[in-house]
Amino acid sequence: MSDTDQFYRIAKLPPYVFAVINEMKAKMRAAGKDVVDFGMGNPDGATPQAVIDKLCEAAQQAKNHRYSMSRGIPHLRQEIVKRYQRNYGVELDSEKEAIVTIGAKDALAHLLFAIIAPGDVVVSPNPAYPIHQYGVIMAEGEACMLPMPDPATFLQGLEDVYKGPKKPKVILISFPHNPTTTCVDLNFMKEVVRMAQVNGSLIVHDFAYADLGFDGYKPPSILEVPGAKDLAVEIFSMSKSYNMAGWRVGFCLGNQRMIYALSRIKSYLDYGTFQPIQIASIIALRECEKNTTEIRDMYQERRDVLLEGMAAAGWPCAKPQGSMFLWAPIPEKFRPMGSLEFAKLLMEKALIAVSPGIGFGPLGEGHVRFSFIENAHRTRQAMRELKQFLRTA
């Protein structure tokens, strides 16, 4: 045990599995190896030019250098509300039902911190984006993980949890889902809202991949469900929809009680994102819907190139309907070695970096995740290496 492990909260956090892969990738690249990186879901594209221009202009003005507002400037809150009106037909009050956050991660971590008391149960699918589980643990809640081979099985699992002794305080979901790529329709959302209504639970929907639905599929917002605002919030992120991952802008929208709780916590913790970034984000929401469509189409094309290459290499996988990932079951003969060792082997022998499934929780074992962050040319190059590796391994 290292010194840091002895701190109460840090001791509850397992070593970050992805760090092992990142270190290995860095070493191989330093040694001159051209590793094709499908690891982290870190968008490689540029932020729309109009947004960058606005940032530069706003950054020239001294009035924007001061502390901003912890819950976000009014115009930005008004703009996200307009987007929800336009895209989902959802009406929100920009004063009481919308808050700007420092990305979705800030919203998730601090919302859980604000609304969870020690021992409160938060139920969510597993595998999942790590903060969904560890945000609960850091807030001293009880993370109840349900497998999600498909949406219907998850709903059945949820039904069963409600029959048990401890009712969940919060249902934490996210669709299109990272890493499994599971997508749902509005009826699924209605069913989750119904169960939460009947049992007095709250819902948090992480909508980080709101705009990444493929082949005509449009992911639903949970706020489209009538009455959802009475018990649900949705977290929307600029990271994937506008290639703005490094800018750190997101939103929490919907239920007034939860928005108020989050704004109280955040008023102690931060002064909001640098104001020129917030001003530039207004331009993204107002003028850059075309860029969002292009970003989605690009991921869809990369998905197709990757799937074609995987099939040609002898590793066929099901087509994801949304997100920016492929959740690939490890080929039978490599499965016993586990996802971390398999990911290391892929990097060493095929010069391909992927995320091991175990990094997304115990139920992620048996899979690796490919992100669509390499262009079509490099994806084809990687698939040729993969074919060679699988043929000879």
Ligand X SMILES: Cc1ncc(COP(=O)(O)O)c(C=O)c1O
Q: What is the binding site for ligand X (CB under 6 A)?
A: 41, 103-105, 129, 174, 178, 206, 208, 237, 239, 245, 250
Cβ 110 to ligand X shortest distance, Å: 12
Residue 141 or residue 176: which is nearer to ligand X going by CB? 176
Residue 129 or residue 299: which is nearer to ligand X going by CB? 129
Find where tokens 């209605």 sit: 190
Tell me the H-state helices in 116-150. 130-138
Residue 283 or residue 324: which is nearer to ligand X going by CB? 324
Kindly report the backbone phi and psi dihedral angles of residue 355, in degrees, each rounded to the nearest multiple of 5, phi listed first: -95, 125
Cβ 242 to ligand X shortest distance, Å: 11
Residue 235 or residue 390: which is nearer to ligand X going by CB? 235
The pairs formed by 298-304 with CB atoms below 8 angstroms and a separation of 24 or more are 298/45, 299/212, 299/214, 299/324, 299/372, 300/214, 300/215, 301/376, 302/372, 302/374, 302/375, 302/376, 302/379, 303/214, 303/372
Cβ 204 to ligand X shortest distance, Å: 11
> Residue 32 burial by CB count (10 A; 0-12/13-18/19+): exposed, middle or buried?
exposed
Residue 174 or residue 255: which is nearer to ligand X going by CB? 174
Cβ 152 to ligand X shortest distance, Å: 21
Find where tokens 């977290």 sit: 235
Cβ 303 to ligand X shortest distance, Å: 16
d(CA 238, CA 42): 13
Pairing of strands 170-173, 142-147: unpaired
Beta-carbon-side half-sphere exposure of residue 302 (alpha carbons within 13 Å): 28
Closest residue to ligand X, Cβ-based?
103
Cβ 298 to ligand X shortest distance, Å: 17
Cβ 40 to ligand X shortest distance, Å: 8
Tell me the H-state helices in 313-369. 339-350
d(CA 94, CA 41): 30
Cβ 337 to ligand X shortest distance, Å: 26
Residue 103 or residue 168: which is nearer to ligand X going by CB? 103
Question: In 3-state terms, what secondary structure has residue 281?
Answer: helix
Contact 88/224 with Cβ under 8 angstroms? yes
Residue 237 or residue 263: which is nearer to ligand X going by CB? 237
Residue 121 or residue 252: which is nearer to ligand X going by CB? 252
